Amino acid sequence: MPDRDPLSGADNAWRRMGRTDNLMTITGILWFDEKVTYEEVCDRLEERLLQFDRFTQKIGGRKRRFRRPYWETVEDFDIESHVYDISLPEPASDAKFQEFVGRLMSRPLDERRPLWEAYLIDDVDRGDGNAITFRINHSLGDGFALLYVLLGLADNPEDIELPIGNVPQAPNSDPSEARSTERKPNAHSDSGRSADEGADLSEIRFGKAGLAATTIKEMDYLLRMPDEADTSLRGELGSRKHASWTDGVELARIKDIKRQHDATVNDVLLAVTAGALRRELEDRGEDTEGLQLRCTVPVNLVPMADRTEQLGNGFGLAFLPLPVGEEDLGERIEFMSDNVGIEKLGVEAFLMYKLLDFGGMLPDMAQEQLMTMFEDRATGIVTNVPGPLNTIDFAGTEVTDMVFWVPQAVDQGLGISLITYGGSVRVGVAGDANLIPDADGLAKHFEAEIGHLEAQLDD
């Protein structure tokens, strides 16, 4: 790769959408059953992470008005300048860890350096183990690109089972450890609908007439979309963020429920999300009767097997209604089953991707004007990443759990991130402190909804 590589339009657009009250940074945590040392972490990241050039490059040409900035290789890159070894105040608790993560989310990464950092954290209230928190700017890649990177860090990449097909071989890796790129059936999908990060639409085919008609209809919808309903989950953003996460729930239980309702895993999780938001608003004394709220959902447009070492953003955003005012869980699942149409989401996402890619080619002010078209259109973002079905090892130690948080775009102050790993589903909640003063309370509403869901299964 040359020393200077221009940012793609989409990557540049996501970079520029970051602002002091809504940073474009993806945050994630890996927990370990036993302690890994700082030296082991640095050695593993130097060996595997730095295979991807983006992690040793910074943004050059940031002040150019009419030309895109470029990735520029940092000379004499030092891995230890990006990896920090810290301990949280005693006694250890999830609450202290969540507060720490929220503070990280509130602090921008420095574009004069490669746009990532990692924190090895002791005293995380997880027995004898510890954890790593990663922060990566969205301009480096989307959720699928970073899943590719994450799995490349594993000791046993050839043994990883994914519900979305295997990941490509990492750059510069040992050919004997090459992973098949043959696509496997999606374990989370049925009836042609997927529960990936939004959905994987790379193999969708339309007839010419059908595609043209659907595209015109969805473009008209995007341009004429009414403003989002007015609730306390929307409003003026600040620079302080909060983070929380739920306990894990067995994926097998979610699958039992989706079969009971002839739905998908994604339908069930979105129905749970709607119920958690209803509980939150009712706790605030707000009327939810008949209320629908929109969320933006990322839709993957590039299959996992086609991902490359350049990473990047290969997804678009679609707008999805949530039946927040519906108390009955079965009705909510049915609503989501009727409204999560892969063709509709696919065309919306493709159009939004093209708009973002185009916006990233324009001067800053022009992109900003373009993005104002989509303000007041959604309450938050909901993303679902299908992680490994089995657990992975990192530097000789098992990764027992993981969670991540997606950044929120434009004027949205709520991010809900679902990830499956090792047979469990976990929800990460991130919110602007002005709008979500108690992220842990919202996480508890998710747990209450999941408990309600499981109780119905047992009846």
The structure tokens listed for 199 are 């959905």
Residue 38: other Cβ atoms inside 10 A: 13
Residue written as token pair 């004499």: 76
* Type of residue found at 91: P
The per-residue pLDDT string of the chain (459 residues; one tens digit each, 9 = 90 and over) reads: 446 788 999 999 999 888 888 889 999 999 998 999 999 999 999 999 998 899 999 999 877 777 788 999 998 899 999 999 998 888 778 888 999 999 999 999 998 999 999 999 987 777 788 899 999 999 999 888 888 888 888 888 778 887 765 555 656 555 444 333 333 333 333 333 333 333 443 334 444 445 566 677 777 777 778 888 999 999 999 999 999 999 988 999 899 988 988 888 889 999 999 999 999 999 999 999 999 999 999 988 887 777 778 888 988 888 899 999 999 989 999 999 888 766 678 888 888 888 889 988 888 888 888 888 788 889 999 998 888 888 989 988 999 999 999 888 778 899 999 999 999 999 999 999 999 999 999 999 999 998 888 887 766
d(CA 132, CA 118): 7
Q: Which residues pair with 252 in a beta bridge?
A: none
Q: How far is CA 358 from CA 64, 256, 456, in A?
A: 17, 43, 47
Query: ∠ at Cα 249 (246, 252), nearest 5°?
Result: 160
> E strands, 191-350, where?
241-245, 249-250, 293-300, 315-322
**Residues near 63 by Cβ (< 8 Å), separated by ≥ 6?**
none
Beta-bridged to residue 425, according to DSSP, are 249, 420
pTM greater than 0.85? yes
3-state secondary structure of 331: helix
Q: Supply 348's token pair.
A: 């919306």
Beta 293-300 vs 315-322: how paired, if at all? antiparallel
The neighbouring-strand residues paired with 242 are 431
CA distance 307 to 373: 30
Q: How many CB atoms lie within 10 A of CB 176?
A: 6
Helical ranges in 198-320 per DSSP H: 208-224, 251-260, 265-283
Three-state SS for 75-130 is CCCCHHHCEEEEECCCCCCHHHHHHHHHHHHCCCCCCCCCCEEEEEEECCCCCCCC
| Helical pair 364-371 and 9-17, crossing angle rounded to 10 deg | 80
Q: How far apart are CA 263 and CA 259, in angstroms?
A: 6
At residue 96, what are phi and psi to the nearest 5 degrees?
Answer: -70, -40
Omega before 407 cis (within 30°)?
A: no
